Chains A and B, each alone.
Chain A
Amino acid sequence: MIALHLRLRPSTRRLAVAAGAIALAAVVIAPLSSTDAAQQAGLPLLTDRLWFRIATTVAMFVALASAWNVIGGLAGYASFGNIAFFGLGAYTTGALVSNLRWAFAPALLAAPLVSALFAAVIGLPLLRLRGHYFAVATLGVGVAVGEVVNNLGPLGGATGLFLPILRSDLLFFYLMLGTAALAVAATWVILRSRFGFGLLAIRENEEAAAVIGVNTIFYKVSAFVIAAALTGLAGGVFAQWNSFINQENVFAVSDNVEMILMAVLGGAGTVLGPVAGAVVLELTIETLAGGGSAAVYSQIGLGVLLTVCVIFIPRGVIDFFGGQSRLSLGYLRRTLRETSA
C-alpha cells in the first residue's frame, strides 16, 4: 500500500530476490566449512578468525541500524539514545553471567527485556519532544546511563566487567546473524501492518495522524520499545562474545552515530536500506581501520558521502533502485520511455 516500499519491475525483483538468496546462503553456510568435521571431510577452508570477527561485527550493525530504523526511520524520531539500550543489554547479560553465575542463554534473554522496560519508562516523557529536542534529550540519556554504570561498583565500575570466555566463533556469528534477521523481519512485518502505517503517519505529520485516530503516544512508545529490545539483544550477544565490557565499548556515542549513518545512507524507513548501509559502511570502516592515515581520509570521505547522499538521494541508496530520486534507474527508465514515445 505504501509509497515507501521498493517499487521494482517484476523481472528486476526476481533477479534481486535470487541474488539475495544466494548471498544469504553463502553467508550462512560458508562458516560451517571451518568446523573440525568439515575439515576432516576435506572441504576447503573458506573462513578464518578475522573473517568471523568482521562478519559478526557487520551482522551486529545490521541489527543496530535496523533497530534504529524502527524509531528513527519509520516513526521519524531520530534517537541518539539507542546506545543506552545496547549498553544496558550488554550489562544485563554481563552482570547476570559474571555476578550471579547465570547460564549465558537465560542471561541473554534478560537483556532485551531490561532494555525494553527502560525504553518504555524514558519513552513516555521523551517522546513528547520532537526534532532536535528529542535528539538532544536522548543523547543525554545515552551519556548519562553510561556514566551511571561506570560508577556502579557491583558492575565493575570504571574497570569494566569480565565474563567467562566462551570460545566459539561460530556460535556468536550465528547469534548476531539471528539478531540481525530478527530486526529485519520485524521491520518487514511492521511495514505491512496497521501499526507500521500509523508510524509512517506520525513521521509524516503527527497532528494529522492524531486527528484521524492514530494513538500517537502508544505507537511511538511501542516503536521505541521494539527498537530497544532488538538493540538490547545485540548488546547481550556482544557482552559474551567480547567477554569484556566497559563504558567505552558498549556506551560509545560514536556507535550510535554510526547506526544513524548506516540507516540514513542506506535508506531510512525501508526494510533493506539499513542492511545495505550497515554492510557497506562497516566493511569500508573495517578495511580502512588498519591503514594509518587512510583512516583519517576515510572520516572525511564519510562526511562527503553523507552530504552527497542527503542532497541527491535523501531517501537513501536503496531509492536509487526504487525510482523516486532523479539519479535513480527508475527515473532514467521513465524519462527514456516518455521521451521516446
Chain B
Amino acid sequence: MESAGGILPWSEWGHNSVSLLAVNDLGKRFGGVQALQGVSFTVQDGDVLGIIGPNGAGKTTLLNCVSGLFRPDRGDIRWQDRSIVGQAPYRIARLGIGRTFQIVRPFPSMTVRENTAMGALFGQPAGRLQPAEALRQADAVLDLVGLADKRSHPVLRLTVPDRKRLEVARALAMRPRLLLLDEVMAGLNQVEVEQALEMVRQVRASGVAIVLIEHVMKVIVGVCNRALVLNLGRPLLEGPPSEVLRDRRVIEAYLGERYARGGDA
C-alpha cells in the first residue's frame, strides 16, 4: 500500500487507499510542554499498530486527541477521510472508535455486566438498542474477554487484570471498527499477558483494527504488524516491530544507553 507516502492516503481520488484513521502532523502543547509535535501515521483495516516510547513521550496524549478528550493545537485527524478534530468525544465514539483508559475508569456502582452493557447501549454506530438487548450483547463480549463467570460481580470486587479486561469489554461492546488500547497489559504477570495477547488476537480476527500503547515488548512483537516510536512528543521511527526494536536510536531512547552499548539486539 502507498500508506508510507504520507499524504496520498486521504487524497480524494484514492478510492481504495482511504485510511480508516489518518493522523497528520499532530501537535499539542500544555503550557511550556510540547506534548506532541509532528506526529503522523495511518491505520488501515486489519492493522494492529503498536505505539511505544518512554514515559512522557506523549502516547496517552495522542490517544486523548484521537478520542476527542483533547483538542490538538495543529494538524489533522481524519476518520475515513473526514476530519474529526474538534468533534465531541461522544460523536467520535459513535463513529466507531472505542478506547480504554490506562488508569481504569469503570462505573463503580454497577456490575460487570451492566458496565459492559453501557458500551453497547450508547456506543454503537448502528443506533439505539433496548437495555435488554444491550445486556444480551454484553454477555457475548464478556465471553470473549474471559469475564463471563464474573458477570454479576460488582466492579469493586474485581482484581486489577480483571478491571483491565472490563475496560476492553466495555469498549468492544460498542462494536468499534478501531480500538485504542492504553496499556491494558501493564502490571499483568506472564500468564495474564499470554491471555491478554490471545484476547487481542481474537479481537483482531473479528475485524477490528487496533492501536495499542504498550511497554511490554513481547506484546509489540507478538501481535503488532507495525510499531511507531515516540520520544519527547516527536515520532522517532515507524516500521515492522522487529526492525523498530533493533534500531539503535530506539534502544537508546527507550531502554537506555547502557543497554544499547552492552546489548547484542
Contact = CB atoms under 8 A, between A and B. Distances in A.
A201 interface: yes
A19 to B, nearest CB: 27
B135 interface: yes
Contacts of A26: none
A188 to B, nearest CB: 15
Contacts of B110: 2-3, 200, 204
Nearest to A193: B131
Given A1-B135, A210-B90, A204 B122 contact: no
Interface string B92-110: 1110001101000111111
Interface stretch (A126-134, A211-219, A228-236, A272-280): A211-219
Given A2-B114, A204-B109, A211 B67 contact: yes
B114 A194 contact: no
A217 B88 contact: yes
Contacts of A201: 107, 118, 122
B123 interface: yes
A4 to B, nearest CB: 6
A340 interface: no
Nearest to B113: A1
B93 A211 contact: yes
Interface residues on A, range: 20 to 34
B122 A213 contact: yes
B184 interface: no
Interface string A220-241: 0000000000000000000000
A339 interface: no
A204 B107 contact: yes
Contact of B118 (A4, A192, A207, A212): A212
A212 B122 contact: yes
Interface residues of B, number: 36
A211 B124 CA distance: 12
Interface in B63-100: 67-69, 88-90, 92-94, 98-99
Which of B69, B131, B174 lies at the interface centre, i.e. has the most chain A CB atoms within 10 A of its CB? B131
Contact of A205 (B106, B128, B134, B135): B106
Which of A201, A205, A213 lies at the interface centre, i.e. has the most chain B CB atoms within 10 A of its CB? A213
Contacts, number: 88
A87 interface: no
Contact of B93 (A1, A2, A3, A212): A212
Given A197-B121, A201-B107, A207-B69, A215 B114 contact: no
Given A1-B131, A204-B108, A205-B107, A211 B89 contact: yes
Interface string B52-64: 0000000000000
B154 A211 contact: no
B71 to A, nearest CB: 14
Interface in B107-142: 107-111, 114, 117-119, 121-124, 128, 131-132, 134-135
A105 to B, nearest CB: 37
A267 interface: no
A211 B69 contact: yes
A256 B107 CA distance: 28
A198 interface: yes
A215 B68 CA distance: 13
B90 A215 contact: yes
Interface string A119-146: 0000000000000000000000000000
A167 to B, nearest CB: 48
A69 to B, nearest CB: 15
B227 interface: no
A256 B174 CA distance: 39
Contact of A1 (B88, B89, B117): B117
B26 to A, nearest CB: 18
A147 B114 CA distance: 45
Which of A207, A210, A217 lies at the interface centre, i.e. has the most chain B CB atoms within 10 A of its CB? A210
Nearest to A194: B121
A212 B171 contact: yes
A189 interface: no
A197 B132 CA distance: 13
B111 A3 contact: yes
Contact of A210 (B69, B111, B131): B69
B102 to A, nearest CB: 12
B186 to A, nearest CB: 18
A332 B115 CA distance: 27
A194 B128 contact: yes
Contacts of B98: 211-212
Given A1-B131, A212-B123, 5 more contacts: A1-B114, A198-B122, A211-B90, A212-B118, A213-B174
25 contacts: A3-B114, A3-B154, A192-B131, A197-B131, A200-B107, A201-B107, A201-B122, A204-B109, A205-B107, A207-B69, A207-B101, A208-B170, A210-B69, A210-B88, A210-B90, A210-B93, A211-B68, A211-B89, A212-B98, A212-B171, A213-B94, A213-B119, A213-B122, A216-B90, A217-B88
